[in-house]
Structure 1
Amino acid sequence: MASIRIRLETQTLYFDFQYRGIRCKELTKLKANKVNQLRLEAIMKSIQKEIDSQTFSYRKYFPNSKRADLFESAAPSIASATANELVAGAEAAAQEMRKTGAKQATVNVDGMPSFSDFSDLWFTEREVDWKRSTQSKVKDILVKHLVPRFRGRRVHEITKADILSYRGVLAKTNEDGKALSATRINGVLNILRQILTEAADRYEFVSGFRSIKPLRIPKTKIEPFSLLEVGQILEGAPEEFKPYLTTAFFTGMRTSELLGLTWECVDLDRAQLTINQAWVAGELDSTKTAGSERTIDLSTPVIAALIQQQKNTEAIKSEYVFCASNGKPFNRHNFANRIWHPLLTQLKIKRRRPYQTRHTAATLWLASGENPEWIARQMGHTSTRMLFTTYSRYVPNLTRKDGSAFEQLLNSQLPG
């Protein structure tokens, strides 16, 4: 909730409010007293009213703030309209007023849409192609980042310099000492690129998004558990979560796939389960990619774990395999914060995300000598490339061979 707070270090007042889903803190030099408090509260009410009516301009209230650069670009320099354009605009405005009965009308003479209007149109046309989770992510990028930044700009006015400047703004550390990751920045700019490319194609102008390469993304940090650590975790886990963790460690399923798994997709007689959906943002959705839909072969420990899970949840009568008492999939964040991380701390095992169970399955399969193509199918990969580029470097650490197999071959085949 928007409020006026006191900065303890200086005993001065500052604004604290939410805008576009981001918490904003703006400092003032006013000392903390009743008069100044009332003055700023009145301003805060005006700000909140404008935010609610979607008329708020960050730069208007805080022109020197870094947040102003984040939310809004500077007013563009636009060439004056020609005489012919003014005449055409006046005629179009008059026609619009006669048609609607309005006393005034705003007309876009050259027909170029604003970024806000075109991004709305683009989203409406594209959302039918996306999963619900993708729709939510794109909407979030538009609302929090792109529309506030380019409000008031028309699509053809956004230059390469504007885009590079905005990328620099996104990469800056905010007041909380945090910065967007390279992956997130690339995601924001990718949506901008798609919008400008489509607009350029329709309205026949050259997009400002030219020769701008994505930021380099650091290699994904893979930290699989050793087989010894897996055993310790399964031994120390609460009884009700042992079946879930066993399945996670020995199937390589993603967290969303585990939570979206239903009993109708489990075939214990054939020792298989089918992945065709995922639990994302509190609802069922399609899998991450089309290749993620697959059939997984179950090992003996997983079969035993699923049989136990049937007994554990028999009274709940839920369609979901790993469910809470209400029959819905349990909350992944509550599990991580209340079960997973405390368990690792208790066992004195290095803190890692629950998703590392998937990486652990891949490295254990590789270490045991399973066929890479079979492993790729189990993981939902379309090829074995991911295995050899991401996971294979962990195999020597798990098997403790480091080339000894080849050494043994040479010793057995070559004379004395």
Structure 2
Amino acid sequence: MASIRSRGKKLFVDFRYLGVRCRETTNLIDTPENRKKLQKIIERMEAEIVLGTFNYAQYFPKSDKASKMMALNDRKECINTSMPSFKQFAELWFSEKEIEWRDTYKRKIREIIDMYLLPEFQGRPIDTIKKTEVLAFRSALAKVTRGKVKKPLSAARINSIMVPLGMILKEASKRYKFENPYEDIKSLKEPRTSIQPFTLDEVWKFINWVREDYRNYYLVRFFTGMRTSEIDGLTWENVDFDRREIVINQALVKGKIVPPKTQESYRAIQMSPWVYDALKEQYKVSYKRSEYVFCSHTGEPLDYNNVNKRVWHPTLKALGLKKRNAYQTRHTAATLWLAAGESPEWIAYQMGHSTTKMLFNTYSRYVPNMTRQDGSAFEALVSRSQMAQASTDKETSK
């Protein structure tokens, strides 16, 4: 049974809902009159809980616990009903799957469900959703715009929204024995990732021009292929000067330290002499100030949006270099290593790729332009073989 208590002269309600103890503070001052008023509210709450019509968010709209309790209720109803609504099953599916995901991916899926899927399908019995409606929903996404310039959603973004929808419908169709409306729906074709690596001359031009306090930062980026989240989350404990290695076991995403992007992303990057010297210089600058190798003047990790706006893009503009995002430093490292003739397996490991397939699919088309080896190496090999054979034949004929 719910009880009324007082905290800081304000009344709060102590009750249990779905097996969870809940304490919710009200705006009512602790007076006899307000206690009577609150008691009537509690009696109505308890009646609705018994009838199964209690709406947590309606009673406590500002509560941090409201969304959690509403989700619990949806999952309970989903389990107890013969055919749940889309919202009920989506909440159940999310609660079962979230243990498998990183926090960043969990937030991404939660955002997609709340922002796109529930407004479209939430009250529908899940077995009544048809394939034509799924396709119509996808078409509607192509008309959604975002930002000040009203930019439409990209094919990649639309695909990322459709993936959890497909997973939810597939799982529901298996459990409740109905035809999966997502069957045979293919992903939209996405344009190839824009790869705009720097030439080696452009790399040195950038490093020699950029602000002195960011020179080490960009030198390390260009010659290690680290992702933005990896270098921004790099701490001194993961820099091994004795072994000349940078250990990647964490990343900085939206201000939080999280595990690396994939299992293969856990790796030890070898320091080239330039990277080693840059980190030694950086050690003098930031070691006593922060646990982060590259940090702000207050010791906090770098805000990549701020760095891009204040350093990266102004430097490109000042040098007359093509406008591109800072992730191109990673692409640059890969193409330079390939151009230098490094082992593809070694490069894939340095980049955090599971195989060399992605390496060749993404970067190999840039290597001929950098090495000027566009078939001439093979021609030279055959020519040398012909000359050697001719020489042998000539000696034999004597």
TM-score clears 0.5: yes
Is 1:400 the counterpart of 2:372 in the alignment? Answer: yes
In the alignment, which residue of structure 2 is the partner of 1:380?
A: 352
> Structure 2: how far apart are the matches of 1:111 and 1:234?
64
In the alignment, which residue of structure 2 is the partner of 1:268?
A: 241
Structure 1 residues 283-326: Cα deviation after superposition (integer angstroms, max 9, x where no partner): 0111111111111111000000101111111341x111111123
Q: Which amino acid aligns with 2:349?
A: R
Q: Which amino acid aligns with 1:142?
A: I
Map 1:199-210 onto structure 2 (within 5 A): 199-210=172-183
Is 1:116 the counterpart of 2:87 in the alignment? Answer: yes
> Structure 2: how far apart are the matches of 1:174 and 1:218?
19
**Partner residue of 1:131 out of 102, 111, 122:** 102
Q: Which amino acid aligns with 1:329?
A: P
Would the alpha carbon gap of residues 101 and 250 (structure 1) be closer, same or farther in structure 2, given more than 3 Å must change?
A: closer
Structure 1 residues 251-298: Cα deviation after superposition (integer angstroms, max 9, x where no partner): 111111111111111111111111111111110111111111111111
Answer whether contact 1:274 1:296 (CA < 8 A) is retained. Answer: yes
> Structure 2: how far apart are the matches of 1:301 and 1:367?
18
Would the alpha carbon gap of residues 268 and 98 (structure 1) be closer, same or farther in structure 2, given more than 3 Å must change?
A: closer
Map 1:43-62 onto structure 2 (within 5 A): none
Q: Which runs of 5+ in 1 are unaligned?
A: 1-96
**Partner residue of 1:344 out of 316, 330, 355:** 316
How far 1:215 moved relative to its partner? 0.7
Q: Which amino acid aligns with 1:198?
A: E
How far 1:166 moved relative to its partner? 0.3
Structure 1 residues 325-349: Cα deviation after superposition (integer angstroms, max 9, x where no partner): 2322100000111110010000000
In the alignment, which residue of structure 1 is the partner of 2:337?
A: 365
**Partner residue of 1:100 out of 50, 53, 59:** 50
Moved >3 Å (runs of 4+): 101-105, 107-110, 173-177
Would the alpha carbon gap of residues 99 and 234 (structure 1) be closer, same or farther in structure 2, given more than 3 Å must change?
A: closer
Report the TM-score when normalising by structure 1: 0.73
Q: Which amino acid aligns with 1:232?
A: K
How far 1:400 moved relative to its partner? 2.2
Map 1:285-304 onto structure 2 (within 5 A): 285-304=258-277
Answer whether contact 1:171 1:179 (CA < 8 A) is retained. Answer: yes
> Structure 2: how far apart are the matches of 1:262 and 1:166?
44
How far 1:98 moved relative to its partner? 11
Would the alpha carbon gap of residues 329 and 102 (structure 1) be closer, same or farther in structure 2, given more than 3 Å must change?
A: closer
How far 1:387 moved relative to its partner? 1.7
In the alignment, which residue of structure 1 is the partner of 2:305?
A: 333
Is 1:186 the counterpart of 2:159 in the alignment? Answer: yes
Bigger Rg, which one? 2
Answer whether contact 2:144 2:152 (CA < 8 A) is retained. Answer: yes
> Structure 2: how far apart are the matches of 1:324 and 1:98?
53
Answer whether contact 2:286 2:292 (CA < 8 A) is retained. Answer: no
How far 1:191 moved relative to its partner? 0.3
Would the alpha carbon gap of residues 347 and 134 (structure 1) be closer, same or farther in structure 2, given more than 3 Å must change?
A: same
Q: Which runs of 5+ in 2 are unaligned?
A: 1-46, 56-76, 391-398
> Structure 2: how far apart are the matches of 1:398 and 1:188?
38
Superposed CA RMSD: 2.4
SS for the counterpart of 2:268 is strand
Q: Which amino acid aligns with 1:140?
A: E
Structure 1 residues 92-149: Cα deviation after superposition (integer angstroms, max 9, x where no partner): xxxxx999268999x9996211111221121122111111110111011011100111
In the alignment, which residue of structure 1 is the partner of 2:294?
A: 322
> Structure 1: how far apart are the matches of 2:114 and 2:291?
36
